[in-house]
Amino acid sequence: MIKSHPSHNITVPSYTKGGIKSLKVIGKLMDDFLVTEKEFWLFDYILNALLSDARQNAYHIFKTMSLIEMLIINPKGNGKIAGEIERKLPQFLPDRIAKEKGILFSEIMRKLRNKIAHGDFEAVKQLLEQYRQVFMQNFWFDEIEYSIENWTYGNICLRLDEVLYEILWLMLYDKSKLFEIQMG
């Protein structure tokens, strides 16, 4: 969340001052967000979820999509998220994913999360293949280092982490806007 400083031509003192300034900004955003006990426990839950696992695999996708859904889906929807995730998630996608493919990305992620949750790994393989065909067309898979499946998981995890980063930033920076998205 702290915007990094360009590494060229920066002296250590100015880099340190910039880091301190960034930490103060983040601290103020956190102070402004953490007003109620409910917000504290939400923040605690998110931090625990983020710190518990750094692997890029099916369970990372499940966990990250669950956090994304928790933050942008209307809680009064009784668990029905089809359509809602496809409408809301694309606005948080990184520029690497073309806007016209945002709905398809969101649909694949929703289905992938559900298939992982239900242990339907045949369907997971099919969704990974669909993702590769659309979003990794020019990707070079070094099968000596990882399997194609692991490269796909890694790519998806990076994209979902970027989405979650954007949502969390909005949560701290403008929680009323995030609430508006969630309830919309």
Give the separation between CA 62 and CA 55, rounded to whole angstroms.
Answer: 12
Question: Tens of pLDDT along 55-100?
Answer: 888 999 999 999 999 999 988 877 677 789 999 999 999 888 888 8
Q: Assess whether 28 and 41 both reside in one domain.
A: no
Q: Assess whether 23 and 40 both reside in one domain.
A: no
Using pLDDT thresholds of 50, 70 and 90, give the confidence band for residue 1: very low
* Residue 154 contacts residue 56 (beta carbons within 8 Å): yes
Q: Assess whether 29 and 47 both reside in one domain.
A: no
Q: Assess whether 25 and 102 both reside in one domain.
A: no
Mean pLDDT of 142-157: 87
b/e sequence 152-175, b meaning 16+ C-beta within 10 Å: bbebbbebbebbbeebbebbbeeb
Give 87's contacts (C-beta < 8 A, 6+ positions apart): 103
Decide if pLDDT at 6 tops 90. Answer: no
Q: Assess whether 8 and 86 both reside in one domain.
A: no
Structure tokens at 184: 């919309």
Q: Assess whether 60 and 135 both reside in one domain.
A: yes
Using pLDDT thresholds of 50, 70 and 90, give the confidence band for residue 51: confident
Q: Assess whether 9 and 100 both reside in one domain.
A: no
Q: Assess whether 17 and 65 both reside in one domain.
A: no
Q: What is the pTM of this model?
A: 0.82
E strands present in 43-135: none
Q: Which residue has the tokens 């696992």?
A: 53
Q: Assess whether 46 and 24 both reside in one domain.
A: no
Give 150's contacts (C-beta < 8 A, 6+ positions apart): 56, 57
Q: Assess whether 97 and 9 both reside in one domain.
A: no
pLDDT value of position 13:
65
Higher pLDDT, 36 or 12: 36
Give the separation between CA 152 and CA 131, rounded to whole angstroms.
Answer: 8
Decide if pLDDT at 5 tops 60. Answer: no
Instruction: State how many domains the chain has.
Output: 2
Q: Assess whether 83 and 19 both reside in one domain.
A: no
Structure tokens at 179: 């609430």
Question: Tens of pLDDT along 13-36?
Answer: 677 888 888 889 888 989 999 999
Q: Assess whether 23 and 67 both reside in one domain.
A: no
Residues of the domain holding 82: 36-183
pLDDT value of position 11:
53
